Chains A and B, each alone.
Chain A
């Protein structure tokens, strides 16, 4: 696997306060990454620097092995869909798609038209007159139809309803399977996108807290469901991240590996295993109790 993004010690300060602090990571080709973190954590700033739209205060960025600033060969291979994207006042949806076609070498016009139909986008309407959800849909269409080797979505679903969001997720997975590329999804709706993600980067207060494969991450905790009394006995002495009770039935998310012995122990008590929620895990990991990256990536 080759790294297509390499960020080293990236820092961005605004008038004395650091929005991004000493962040280093690498992204491999043809994977879907989740850039997660709370609002204001520094995710958007990092993406702006990756795409040479903002300047780093210090540190290095290499995209496709080169510095992105004013670099034709890098910039023509990326597509950054951001929540704050501006459009010219007179532009219609059709205009946006036409210009996108000129800027993205892999642009698939038929696919773009198909997607625009799926989201019910009015092609002749001015972009500035679109609702928030429709505006997000324009970004989603451009991002998917660009088929850019590095496609970045920054909170792409604002204002999209649940149906439209699931169209986005489904289309992304479908198209990704046919045309593999590297995708970065920046979001705070972790549970919704967790089935898409292969790797997670977690940013908190400008720092990288976690850089981990989702598979390994899911292995770090497990969930058990069963009668409350038996569950309590089972989790005694274990590290419980979350516990929920519904009548006599309770579930608990437990930190640690679900090894053979744990499974046997649970089975003896009549408890069932369930997949752990990425969101719960991440909330816990950023809660400060296990906040250090070193502590969990070893």
Chain B
């Protein structure tokens, strides 16, 4: 990779990250408002509260993956950026955002569990049983992998929409729904749900988060193939 090429990927990354509000503030505003609501609840509650409100940050990343494509791809392709540079430049942006978010979540998890013991009022929002087990690097990795996975899932959805339009999305949704229904029926028939439940509970969170890595790579590979055939 030569310098000029890296420069164009950097241009993509910086185009995406120019929207500082959406990438660096909004994830925290969304999970923060959920946190505040829980904080108030916990203040009045008699027992400790453990809540999954931080999931809002992950869901936001899924939405961000979807929105990122529509807000930057037409602009950058129009400005003579290669599709591959767009792809890897986006990777740079989400790598950075994912690392910042994961570091923030890890820090908050420690503040909550070790330093303040549930913010002094028994609220467990960032440090969750099962999810937040392990050392700081392990927690960081778990959060990072989940964020990146959800982003690329959204990215893939947006690439399908971009490549095949509304009808493509419609057909894909029906196909997924149909396959899901049939598969779920088969699982029920064979009694596999219980096996799946056992299997899941036997895994550590790190194993589960690590399991998203191949899925993330799959989403990336399919997105890339779709981007290559996308026109503006």
User: Are B11 and A51 closer than 8 Å at their CB atoms?
Assistant: no
A48 within 8 A of B: yes
Instruction: Determine the distance from Cα of A79 to Cα of B74 in the docked complex, in whole angstroms.
Output: 15
With a CB–CB cut-off of 8 A, which chain A residues contact B4? 72, 76, 105
When C-beta atoms are compared, the residue in chain A nearest to B21 turns out to be A90
Instruction: Determine the distance from Cα of A85 to Cα of B75 in the docked complex, in whole angstroms.
Output: 7
A82 within 8 A of B: yes
B72 within 8 A of A: yes
What is the size category of the interface that chain B forms with chain A?
20 to 34
Instruction: Determine the distance from Cα of A152 to Cα of B80 in the docked complex, in whole angstroms.
Output: 11
Instruction: Determine the distance from Cα of A53 to Cα of B8 in the docked complex, in whole angstroms.
Output: 17
Interface residues of A in 81-108 (CB under 8 A from B): 82, 85-91, 95, 98-100, 102-103, 105
Partner of B82, one of A48, A54, A70, A102: A70
Chain A at the B interface: mostly helix, strand, loop or mixed? loop
B37 within 8 A of A: no
Instruction: Determine the distance from Cα of A102 to Cα of B79 in the docked complex, in whole angstroms.
Output: 11
Partner of A88, one of B8, B75, B81: B75
In the complex, per-residue mask of B78-113: 1 if CB is within 8 Å of any chain A CB, else 0 = 111111110000000000000000000000000000
When C-beta atoms are compared, the residue in chain A nearest to B78 turns out to be A85
Q: With A48-B231, A54-B231, A90-B22 given, is the CB distance from A102 to B78 under 8 Å?
A: no
User: Are B19 and A51 closer than 8 Å at their CB atoms?
Assistant: no
B189 within 8 A of A: no
Interface residues of B in 203-225 (CB under 8 A from A): none
In the complex, per-residue mask of B1-28: 1 if CB is within 8 Å of any chain A CB, else 0 = 0001101101100110011011000000
With a CB–CB cut-off of 8 A, which chain B residues contact A55? 229, 231
Instruction: Determine the distance from Cα of A53 to Cα of B4 in the docked complex, in whole angstroms.
Output: 20
User: Are A53 and B77 closer than 8 Å at their CB atoms?
Assistant: yes
A61 within 8 A of B: no
Partner of B79, one of A72, A99, A105: A99
When C-beta atoms are compared, the residue in chain B nearest to A71 turns out to be B82
Interface residues of B in 105-135 (CB under 8 A from A): none
Instruction: Determine the distance from Cα of A87 to Cα of B15 in the docked complex, in whole angstroms.
Output: 10
When C-beta atoms are compared, the residue in chain A nearest to B18 turns out to be A95
B167 within 8 A of A: no
B residues sitting closer than 8 Å to A (CB atoms) are 4-5, 7-8, 10-11, 14-15, 18-19, 21-22, 71-72, 74-75, 77-85, 228-229, 231-232
Given contacts A53-B232, A72-B8, A99-B14, 18 further A-B contacts (CB under 8 A): A48-B231, A70-B84, A72-B82, A75-B82, A76-B8, A78-B80, A79-B79, A82-B78, A88-B72, A90-B18, A90-B21, A90-B22, A95-B18, A100-B79, A102-B7, A102-B10, A103-B11, A105-B4
